[in-house]
Amino acid sequence: MENPRVLILNSSGIYGGGEYYVLNAAIGLKSLGFTVMVGCYPDGQLYRKCRDSGLNTVEIEFPQSGSSGLRKNIKSIRELINKLGADIVHTNTNYDRTAGAYAARKTKAKHITSCHSLEPIQHNLTHYIRNKFLTSHFICDGKSIQQLITGNYSVPLAKTTVIHNGIDPNEHTRDIIIRKKIRDELGIKDNEVVIGNTGRLVPFKGQKYLLKAFKEVKTECSNAKLIIVGDGELKDELKEEANTLGLNDCVIFTGFRDDLSYIYSAFDIYAHSSVSGGGELFPFSVLYAMAQQLPVTATEVGDINEMISESVNGFLVIDRSPYRLAQKLILLTKDSELRNMFGIEGNRLVNERFTLKKMIEETASVYRKVL
């Protein structure tokens, strides 16, 4: 059968894991010969990255809060479906999930949605109708969201498929030259062990617990430093917390960086401190770390235990526990051989289970199954 024509939607104005997914899914599908169009928020990071990657990219006036403009956007999306001759409308956030599903109604296009967060997908009658009658298939980043939507919202298991996020490991290789350049830029000495964390500075990412944990790490390991990469609503609060803990000279806040593959090369350990209840499911940030042969200490939330095998390529700890997080980070900071062993195994797992190629092929298979 001829490759389907696909309209991929994302209504978010920020650039996080879900938006990274859309960019790479679109690029990957196009490389397989699919005709792809991306509809997204005007002039945001996702729009610019898609456009710069040579993708057919259109602006849609998605609201950044609430559900305003829904009728207008349904009409705009239906026009795009007809213009593209789309066979598939693939949505990725709650707003575009609704707009895309209703737009596809009475066209030849099938609606497929990806669930990137461990959050409820039904809040009202509109969502109930969307989920029950207007969605042909649900792609779940992890088993935990699959269990939530089939258990709580009566979505038939047969209408769901778990497809884990994937990356191109070749785009996230460790670079010794870049490592030195970034560490020199940030004032990090050769003998210092760097614990890294990347992500939005928002409550569910749990950086406040990481700072408390690092206070304990520093008492045991004088050569440790912490780099927190990202921006968000808690930026000032977290900086003040670091100051209160007396960590100003050993914690670096870089702000938003668009060169994550470079930044990761400066790390020796990756720490992921997300907390339950915030929607964390299958973070790309952990996959980046594994690809760069970094040992990982992570909180056991969402489907992170699918990526991290205890004492094989990292450690898993309960969330909101600075003490437990600190103990594992201290162990890794002191033991370079353990860091190396975990890093090698993590890289092997990425290449075996979590590649972009695998993710795209499985997504294309779902498209064909639905059609």
Residues 74 and 12 in one domain: yes
Residues 118 and 224 in one domain: no
Cα distances from 103 to residues 84, 129, 262, in angstroms, run 13, 13, 41
Percentage of the chain beyond pLDDT 70 is 100
Residues 176 and 151 in one domain: no
d(CA 60, CA 10): 9
Residues 53 and 201 in one domain: no
DSSP 101-165: HHHHTTSSPEEEEEE-SSS-S--SHHHHHHHHHS-SEEEESSHHHHHHHHHHS---GGGEEE---
Total count of domains within the chain: 2
Tell me what the mean pLDDT of segment 313-327 comes to. 98
Strand order in the sheet with 314-317: 251-255, 224-229, 193-198, 269-272, 296-299, 314-317
Q: 6 pairs with which residues across the strands?
A: 36, 88
pLDDT, residue 67, reads 87
Residues 156 and 305 in one domain: no
d(CA 157, CA 142): 14
pLDDT, tens digit (0-9, with 9 covering 90-100), for 256-269: 999 999 999 999 99
Residue 112 near residue 365 (C-beta atoms within 8 A): no
Residues 141 and 245 in one domain: no
Residues 30 and 84 in one domain: yes
Q: What is the number of alpha carbons within 13 Å of residue 203 lying toward its C-beta? A: 4
pLDDT, tens digit (0-9, with 9 covering 90-100), for 131-141: 999 999 999 99
Residue 215 near residue 147 (C-beta atoms within 8 A): no
At residue 65, does pLDDT exceed 90?
no
3-class DSSP assignment, residue 324:
helix
pLDDT, residue 1, reads 62
Tell me what the mean pLDDT of segment 353-365 comes to. 98
Tell me what the mean pLDDT of segment 37-44 comes to. 94
d(CA 249, CA 111): 51
Using a 10 angstrom Cβ sphere, with 0-12 exposed, 13-18 middle and 19 or more buried, the burial of residue 2 is: exposed
pLDDT, residue 2, reads 82
Residues 263 and 344 in one domain: yes
Residues 15 and 156 in one domain: yes
d(CA 255, CA 310): 31
Could you tell me the CATH number of the domain that includes residue 219? 3.40.50.2000
pLDDT, residue 66, reads 85
pLDDT, tens digit (0-9, with 9 covering 90-100), for 192-217: 999 999 999 999 999 999 999 999 99
Which range of residues forms the domain containing residue 20? Answer: 5-166+355-370
Structure tokens at 272: 């992921």
pLDDT, tens digit (0-9, with 9 covering 90-100), for 77-104: 999 999 999 999 999 999 999 999 999 9
Residue 314 near residue 308 (C-beta atoms within 8 A): yes
Residues 63 and 112 in one domain: yes
pLDDT, tens digit (0-9, with 9 covering 90-100), for 274-312: 999 999 999 999 999 999 999 999 999 999 999 999 999
Residues 110 and 183 in one domain: no
pLDDT, residue 43, reads 83
d(CA 305, CA 298): 9
Q: What is the number of residues in the chain?
A: 371
pLDDT, residue 134, reads 98
Q: Which helix (H) or strand (E) holds 197?
A: strand 193-198
pLDDT, residue 140, reads 98
Which segments within 232-317 are labelled E, that is strand?
251-255, 269-272, 296-299, 314-317
3-class DSSP assignment, residue 299:
strand
Residues 53 and 106 in one domain: yes
Whole-number average pLDDT of the chain: 97
At residue 106, does pLDDT exceed 70?
yes
pLDDT, residue 78, reads 98
Q: Closest Cα partner for 191 from 291, 270, 268?
A: 268
d(CA 4, CA 368): 8
Region of residue 85 (phi > 0: left; psi between -120 and 50: alpha; otherwise: beta): left
DSSP 23-52: HHHHHHHHHTT-EEEEEE-TTSHHHHHHHH
Cα distances from 262 to residues 13, 178, 289, in angstroms, run 24, 6, 11
Cα distances from 314 to residues 218, 287, 307, 318, 346, in angstroms, run 20, 12, 9, 14, 8
